[in-house]
Structure 1
Amino acid sequence: MSRAKRKLEHIEHALSTGQTGNAGFDDIRFVHRSLPDVNVSDISLSTFIGELEISSPIFINAMTGGGGKATEGINQQLAEIAAEVKIPIASGSQMSAIKNESEKPSYEIIRKTNPNGVVFANVGSEATAEQAEACVDMLEADALQVHLNVIQELVMPEGDREFKGALNRIEKIVSKVPVPVIVKEVGYGMGKETAAKLNSIGVPIIDVGGFGGTNFSKIENSRREQSYSFFNEWGIPTAVSIAEVNAQVSHENRGVTILGSGGIKTASHIAKSIALGANAAGMAGTVLKWLQLEGLERTIDRLYDVLEELRMIMTAVGASNIGALQKAPIILLGETKDWLDTRNISTNYYSNRNL
């Protein structure tokens, strides 16, 4: 099967399989403040992804590209949405364009459509530093995502089977490319051990890409004759993953920016991601579903609604800005608490702090 056809299948299966909904956010509760001492008009949504200042803590995360005109059309619409709402947008993996120049337009359309916006390029951890630079140049990108997708590759019938040396390749990319590097998972989450390794080589931004969103194991298993069904429930839930990474970088280097993604559907999910330690949250499958089922204008309206709802949540907890929301007391319950307790990560830290 050609890479382009596989990209189109991924989109079709992502829409049909949906999201798992087990990202862990139902286990997170804000401590109510009867005297928040803040007005809705006081709320600032601006935040930072590394050194990049953005107007709100939402970005459109990596989805597609490399599928010819079909994915070019999707990326054009996603770029139009990003330009209108003034939020960053990430390209899908550009390795298709590195290997086949005819696929470049399906990625380049993002920058053409959104010439003044914040755009993230995207490569896999198998890429060389030179290939990573080429991807940044292709989009005149403001940052570069390096994605980790071991489980997806193992389930994919034609996927990679060699993963040695990835950390060393990422270190070379970090030292060579002229923009901030974001290392992201694609739906299986990151634990504190992975965060420590990435921190040790100077990765400035970590996107946890947790379990609970688009399930690439199910997508790839639908393309297999013999299913690897044991991978369908594999991964670290997004809420847990943010807490794990936050615990690690808090101890080692708080200069690392954490991004939450994986099953982010609502303003509540975004607020809880930030309270757990993220600076921003990426939406992918939900935005794609809105776009495909409801159209461009309605998707833009929905994102504006999410931003307004986030302002209301921040007002309710007395957080006038993103930094304050990161200090809001929250209670961790259920499986999320059990997981973190077992991993010796303090949940009392979250429940007893003050803004």
Structure 2
Amino acid sequence: MSAQRKDDHVRLAIEQHHGHSGHNQFDQVSFLHHALAGIDRPEVSLATTFAGITWQAPIYINAMTGGSAKTGAINRDLATAAREAGVPIASGSMNAYLKDPSCAGTFRVLREENPHGFVMANINATTTAGNARRAVDLLEANALQIHINTAQETPMPEGDRSFASWPGQIEKIAAAVEVPVIVKEVGNGLSRQTLLRLQDLGVRAADVSGRGGTDFARIENGRREVADYAYLRGWGQSTAACLLDAQDLTLPLLASGGVRHPLDVVRALALGARAVGSSAGFLRTLLDGGVPALITQLTSWLDQLAALQTMLGARTPADLTRCDLLVHGELRDFCADRGIDPRRLAQRTGTTPGNGNGNGNGTGPGAGAAGAGVLNEMTGSTP
């Protein structure tokens, strides 16, 4: 049944994106154009650092699949593309392997095809510390993702219905494994309050993974005999909203959920993410055009990211947090409801003479802090 569920997830995820309008709340974030902000391309680096981890590019192939023959073949191809493009990759949930070691090869292929790459194992929040170590060992993983997914489990016919133990189990896993632990949502977002709690639990980073991409509550509802949880469609916060909600926190953030192209990547980086992941978009490319098409897409994204940083005057991905952003529409309403002043985002470069940071107008004192903490005291309220 687990293997069939994994195959169903891939099929339903692809079906979900057919005919999709393509719009999400990333479209409500735009850069204020400074026509003299540009720098020279050789000055640009794509490298990003967080939680003691350094990646040579700020994009990664996020968690997808594994556990069946079909999904094992997908993982092999994804790992090949990650190796050739030089980007990190995450496994899909390894719960199937922890229950049935005979499917280990469908996950292990991520390391076999990508022996020197950055590979993340993936488990759920009910996993024991011992099994967490097993998952890390199988992949010789460089980091461990723990996915949290109450909005997916609730309509899932065979899903969990007991969530109270999750925080304590996350804390145990974080203390037990020797690699950095990254907690991620699966498409419904991480609120500010959740991120603060995760930091207290010893988590090294968090992937906000917000609404806008694959909707797993909708997928699980589609697997029910009667699709009676349709009202959960669209549950949660968008990725952009999550990043806005977390602007003054110190926990390093990754971003995924609804990332469609390199502009969404630089939007997320400018909102404070250290790196940005995608799943469904890369999977569609792989299934439509094979490994060569995915390698081409990944290398094209990297080239375009460097080009956009050059235009925006950002020598590094972290420097994008110094760029002026405009927030529109429902996302601006979200800011008002959460006590966030979006005007601060639109005034990050200041009006002082250029100080060599590549942002044209200069940044003014203190405006160059990178990462998620660039808008300290932005909300003016306690969590």
TM-score interval w.r.t. the shorter chain? Answer: over 0.9
Q: Given the superposition, is the C-alpha separation of residues 275 and 135 from structure 1 closer, same or farther in structure 2, using an over 3 Å criterion?
A: same
Q: Does 1:350 align with 2:351?
A: no
- Indicate the residue corresponding to 1:74 in structure 2: 74
Would you say the 8 A contact 1:190–1:245 is kept in 2? no
SS at the partner of 2:235? coil
Q: Is the 8 A contact 1:208 1:261 kept in 2?
A: yes
Structure 1 unaligned residues grouped into runs of 5+: none
Deviation digits for residues 71-104 of structure 1, max 9, x if unmatched? Answer: 1110000000110111100000111111101010
Kept in 2: contact 1:189–1:211 (CA 8 A): yes
How many residues are treated as equivalent by the alignment?
Answer: 347
Q: 1:189 touches 1:236 (CA, 8 Å); kept in 2? A: yes
Letter in 1 for 2:266: A
Residue aligned with 2:146, SS: strand
Preserved contact between residue 28 and residue 333 of structure 1 (Cα < 8 Å): yes
Find the counterpart in structure 2 of residue 147 from structure 1. 147
Alpha-carbon spacing, 1:59–1:49, altered in 2? closer, same or farther (3 Å) = farther
Aligned partner of 1:78: which letter?
A: L
Deviations 1:292-324 (Å, cap 9, x if unpaired)?
A: 011110111111111111122112211111121
Alignment-derived partner of residue 3 in structure 2? 4
Relative to 1, partners in 2 of residues 1:21 and 1:165: Cα closer, same or farther, differing over 3 Å?
farther
The letter for the 1-side match of 2:25 is: G
Contact 2:90 2:120 in 1 (8 A): yes
Asked if 1 retains the 8 angstrom alpha-carbon contact of 2:66 and 2:106, the reply is yes
* 8 A Cα contact 1:271 1:325, kept in partner: yes
- TM-superposition CA deviations, 1:179-234 (whole Å, max 9, x none): 00000000000111111111122211010010001111221111112220111121
Are 1:266 and 2:253 counterparts?
no
1:10-66 CA-to-partner distances (Å, cap 9, x unmatched) read 001111111674541100010111111411221110102421111110000000011
Q: Retained in 1: the 8 A contact 2:38–2:312?
A: no
Q: Distance in 2 between matches of 1:109 and 1:94?
A: 13
Between the aligned partners of 1:111 and 1:74, the Cα distance in structure 2 is 13
Q: Distance in 2 between matches of 1:133 and 1:49?
A: 22
1:20 and 1:212 in contact (8 A); partners too = no
Q: 1:217/1:22 Cα in 2 relative to 1: closer, same or farther (>3 Å)?
A: farther
Q: Is the 8 A contact 1:124 1:146 kept in 2?
A: yes
Distance 1:37 1:345, change over 3 A: same
> Are the counterparts in 1 of residues 38 and 311 from structure 2 also a CA contact under 8 Å?
no
2:173 match: 173
Rounded Cα–Cα distance in structure 2 between residues aligned with 1:266 and 1:290: 12
Aligned mates of 1:64, 1:86 — CA distance in 2: 20
Aligned to 1:16: 15
- Cα distance change of structure 1 residues 11 and 81 upon mapping to structure 2, 3 Å threshold: same
The one-letter amino acid paired with 1:264 is V
Of 220-229 and 160-169, deviating more is 220-229
3-state SS, counterpart of residue 53 of structure 1: strand
- Contact 1:23 1:210 (8 Å CA) reproduced: no
Q: 1:273 to 1:96 in 2, by over 3 A?
A: same
Q: Cα–Cα, structure 1 residues 22 and 200, in superposed 2: closer, same or farther, change >3 Å? A: farther
Name the SS of the counterpart of 1:326 in structure 2: helix
C-alpha spacing 1:345/1:73, structure 2 compared with 1 (3 Å): same
TM-score between both structures, scaled by the size of structure 1 = 0.95
Task: Name the aligned partner's letter for residue 297 of structure 1.
Answer: P
**Which AA in structure 1 matches 2:41?**
V
Q: TM-score, normalised by structure 2?
A: 0.88
State the partner residue of 1:56.
57
Unaligned stretches of 5+ in structure 2? 350-362, 364-383
Would the aligned equivalents of 2:208 and 2:253 in 1 still touch at CA under 8 Å?
A: yes
1:146 is paired with a residue of what secondary structure? strand
Identical pairs, percent: 38
Higher relative contact order (CA 8 A, sep 6+): 1
1:349 CA drift (Å): 2.4
CA positional deviation for 1:326: 1.8
- Map of 1:234 onto structure 2: 235
**Structure number, greater radius of gyration:** 2
